[in-house]
Amino acid sequence: MVFGNLGETSGTGVGFTRNPANGDKEFYGEFLMNAQGEDVVAGIRTPIHISELHKLMPDVYDQLRDITTRLENHYRDMQDFEFTIQEGRLYMLQTRNGKRTGRAAVRVAIDMVNEKLIKPEEAIFRVEANQLYDFLVPKLDESVEGIEVIATGLPASPGAAVGQIVFTANDAVTFAGTSAQKKPVILVRAETTPEDIHGMEVAAGILTSRGGMTSHAAVVTRGMGKCCIVGAGDIQVDEKKKEMRVGSLTLREGDWISIDGTTGRVIKDKLNTVAASPDDPDLKTIMGWAEPFRTMGVRANADIPRDAIQARAFGAEGIGLCRTEHMFFAEDRIAHMRAMIMARTVDQRKAALDKLLPMQRADFEGVFRAMDGFPVTIRLLDPPLHEFLPRREELMVEITRLELTDAKSPKLKELHEVLRRVEELHELNPMLGFRGCRLGISYPEISEMQCRAIFEAAANVAKEGVKVIPEIMIPLVGMVKEMANQGAIVRRVAAQVFKEKGAEVKYLVGTMIELPRACTVADEIAVEAEFFSFGTNDLTQTAYGFSRDDISKFLPSYIERGILKSDPFATLDQEGVGQLMHMAVDKGRKGRANVKLGICGEHGGDPASVEFCHKIGLNYVSCSPFRVLTARLAAAQAAASDKLKVEGGRTK
């Protein structure tokens, strides 16, 4: 805006017909008078609040209210307008539908229904599904002055977090201290790995300099409902010196920062946060209007009972992905897991697996109880085994150090032994390596143990009166024979356990569809698989040949040059990856007419992707608990849109 010198009763203003922050029906505006205006603070051209205008020029103010009310009625939406007053005369310069927060969007939509400006079926489209996040997360209180944004990354998991920075997972645990005297910490890493889980669990928020929207940090934190910023490339993380550098600024362990996972901003120093209210009555109203339209189910990705309970609270109708491997990283289990991996014989491996069995069974019992009456899709072991062992380069460095400083250390032999196994398992491209069903096929005893844990848990919990609906999912299938091999193990173990327990539980056996080849032979695979769940993270990786962990190397350059519009791991590539999915849906139904179809990739919580899933006829979407609300609204919008189109077509 350029302000001219317009005289005492002249100036320019902007305003909203309702409050864009909270949706209150509150006429709001600011007006900047010319330099001679009475209310201008000396030397600073500060706009005056619209209420002051009311006092100064009541007629003009009334006229403005009248015009903007008519504009809102005409457009049937909250207006963001611009006006000018020249020597006491009002001119409207512009009007448009106003941008607003999610809370405001919901409030405005409901008010307008009450005001009979719009109908409920219109109101549900007035809220962007992603905006429902606003109801779930705390926010930074930015009403203070002098906020210093030091870097910006990708807003990976919404919300706000304030804490002291630490640079390793162990430091996070130490720093966070006992529950009695807990200190909030922000874990700052170049990138996170499964070994950082314990640190991530105690941190208030996570900040990484590398990684994209589906990096480990992003996926895990969204699952945790924890604020996270990833790929803040301007930040250099020096884990060794325990400091981070941004330009000339250096922050050290213990310094305070505030991070806003909704916008990706990293802010120096400590801000306050404003709490969230997920039980908002407005939210219930809008969902009440939307939900009857919805035809797709919405499930959550949850690995542990706590997450499952949370997901149900958000309206999840089942678990679409329960990752069994996350259970193995717990402190009391990793030793048995490592023993299993280090085993040289089937017997040694079985002995280690026997120790893991009761733990897995207890996990599944907890998840089944939490999801009483709803299906739970459990994926058999998926990641490459070396993820459970110490890192190769760290072992090599440690061995070199010991050889030079303490050559007689008994630890050397042990380290060499571990390194030998790590070397054996070492892969140049682990994402394309010895993982998924390749593990269960090579080591059937692993699948057997996991199936036994699932079915024993199911039988036990069913006896308590809980309705258990297990769906066992085989990961990374590319050939029907892989599915047949693992499916046979599942069915054999189920029959054994049911016989032992004298109880039967209905279950399904199916597969992730996450490889292009699986899409091309989906008709064959469906003969063996009762359900498909699209693993669109991996399918995107293999279709594009993009490693989701490494894409940050060239993604910014691609977006800058317009080659990609958005991160394909955040929003599904409907043209390419979607084409493969379409092929798999068509072929899958050819192979088995009633094959159950779902999605459990991160895309399951992205509104545009949810709409696509509706279009190609999936039965359900599954996403992180904190995305369930969004997915529910997006699915409802997609179905409503379909229905209204058809009805529109009928009336013509």
CB 622, min distance to a second copy, A: 21
- What's the full length of the chain, in residues? 652
Are the CB atoms for 535 and 512 separated by under 8 Å? yes
Residue 506: how many other CB atoms lie within 10 Å: 10
- Report d(CA 240, CA 221) in Å as an integer: 24
Nearer to a second copy, 172 or 237 (CB): 237
- Which of 302, 284, 171, 154 is closest to 229 using CA atoms? 154
Alpha-helix runs per DSSP H in 546-594? 555-560, 577-591
Nearer to a second copy, 54 or 589 (CB): 589
CB 557, min distance to a second copy, A: 4
CB 515, min distance to a second copy, A: 5
Are the CB atoms for 317 and 295 separated by under 8 Å? no
Q: Is 318 helix (H, G, I), strand (E, B) or coil?
A: coil
Nearer to a second copy, 76 or 391 (CB): 391
Q: Look up residue 26 and give its two tokens.
A: 């509150």
CB 211, min distance to a second copy, A: 10
Asked about 614 being catalytic, the answer comes back as no
- Which of 384, 396, 388, 379 is closest to 339 using CA atoms? 388
DSSP 25: S
**β-bridge partners, 243:** 238, 252
Nearer to a second copy, 240 or 652 (CB): 240
Nearer to a second copy, 306 or 590 (CB): 590
- Report d(CA 310, CA 222) in Å as an integer: 13
Beta strand segments in 37-184, E? 48-49, 79-86, 89-97, 139-140, 149-152, 154-157, 160-166
CB 604, min distance to a second copy, A: 20
Q: What are phi and psi of 311, to 5 degrees?
A: -60, -40
Q: Is 597 helix (H, G, I), strand (E, B) or coil?
A: strand
- Report d(CA 325, CA 333) in Å as an integer: 11
Nearer to a second copy, 360 or 533 (CB): 533
Q: What is the DSSP string of 243-260?
A: EEEETTEEEETT-EEEEE
CB 233, min distance to a second copy, A: 10
Of the residues 216, 336, 386, 603, which is catalytic?
Answer: 216
Are the CB atoms for 299 and 318 separated by under 8 Å? yes
CB 551, min distance to a second copy, A: 8
| Identity of residue 20 | P
- Report d(CA 586, CA 546) in Å as an integer: 26
Q: Is 367 helix (H, G, I), strand (E, B) or coil?
A: helix
Of the residues 322, 437, 519, 600, which is catalytic?
Answer: 600
**Binding residues vs a second copy (CB under 8 A):** 392-393, 396-397, 400-401, 404-405, 425, 427-434, 436, 438, 441-442, 476, 478-479, 481-482, 485, 514-517, 520-521, 538, 541-547, 549-550, 553-554, 557-558, 561-564, 573, 575-577, 579-580
Nearer to a second copy, 209 or 221 (CB): 209
Are the CB atoms for 371 and 470 separated by under 8 Å? no
Q: Is 534 helix (H, G, I), strand (E, B) or coil?
A: strand
Asked about 600 being catalytic, the answer comes back as yes
| Identity of residue 383 | P
CB 553, min distance to a second copy, A: 4
Positions annotated as catalytic residues are 216, 600
